[in-house]
Amino acid sequence: MNLFQRTLAVTTPPDFAYKTGHSQQRIPRFVEQVGPDALILNLGSGRTDFGRRVVNLDIKPFSHVAVVGVGERLPVQDACLDGVITQGVLEHVPDLRATLAEIDRVLRPGGLVYHEAPFIQGFHASPNDFRRFTAVGMAELAPGYQVLERGIAVGPSSAMMWVASEYLALFCSLGNRTLLKVGRRAFPWLLSPLKFADAWLEGTPQAELIASAFYIVARKPEA
């Protein structure tokens, strides 16, 4: 491996998603909303950490992960959780219906769910990237639940940066895989300033038509 290939291998493009300060506080606010004595499951947590009341579960033993498991068969008792969080997870589970059924099983009556899922984003986390969700389609993630809040999690400027970066890398590669790899690292850095326009654009009317990701907060029925 030559110097160019080594540099290419270790160069990490910037995050395509820009979250405003308000968006970054959405899950911490959800944790507070569930209550001070609540037990919350962060399903597909990765390396995130939302405090001592939130139990992290993932398919790999990342740092902060307390339980290793899969969404289709949660190692959790029935109706024992006050809240469940999924953030950029449900597009990756092979069996969405089974995962949602498991979330419903472990959530107590009156419990809350927070789902965050992509709409306009490039293919990622190969090979397990199965689906996308519109603003209206987010309600399908909590069937029969009372929707308390919904909106844009990541705005349209982030979506534009992602799609444009991938398109330009593909267009300029001329079918060459090495050039494609270079472009997929270079163009995100060149276009990165675009995503910061979400600081004002994500709150404008019709922004949800081309948003990068949405969120929903919903309550399980008491009965």
Query: Which one is the CATH code of 10-155+207-219: 3.40.50.150, 3.40.50.1100, 3.30.70.20, 3.30.9.10?
Result: 3.40.50.150
* CB of 106 closer than 8 Å to CB of 96: no
Half-sphere exposure of 196 (CA within 13 A, CB side): 6
Please classify residue 53 by burial: count the beta carbons closer than 10 Å to its beta carbon, then call 0-12 exposed, 13-18 middle and 19+ buried.
Answer: middle
d(CA 42, CA 114): 9
Predicted local confidence at residue 83, as pLDDT: 98
Tell me the DSSP string of 98-122: HHHHHHHHHEEEEEEEEEEEESS--
d(CA 115, CA 17): 16
Closest CA to 44 of 19, 69, 24: 69
How far are the Cα atoms of 31, 36, 48 from residue 214, in angstroms, in the given order?
Answer: 18, 26, 19
Q: If you search the block for the tokens 């069996």, which residue do you land on?
A: 95
Predicted local confidence at residue 47, as pLDDT: 92
Predicted local confidence at residue 9, as pLDDT: 52
Angle made by CA atoms 13, 19, 24, in degrees to the nearest 5: 125
* CB of 103 closer than 8 Å to CB of 58: no
3-class DSSP state of 10? helix
Q: If you search the block for the tokens 């163009």, which residue do you land on?
A: 187
Angle made by CA atoms 100, 30, 150, in degrees to the nearest 5: 65
Angle made by CA atoms 124, 125, 126, in degrees to the nearest 5: 90
Half-sphere exposure of 80 (CA within 13 A, CB side): 7
pLDDT in tens, the chain (223 residues): 554 455 455 567 899 999 998 899 999 999 999 999 999 999 999 999 999 999 999 999 998 999 999 999 999 999 999 999 999 999 999 999 999 999 999 999 999 999 999 999 999 987 899 999 999 999 999 999 999 999 999 999 999 999 999 999 999 999 999 999 999 999 999 999 999 999 999 889 899 999 999 999 999 999 7
Q: What is the pTM of this model?
A: 0.92
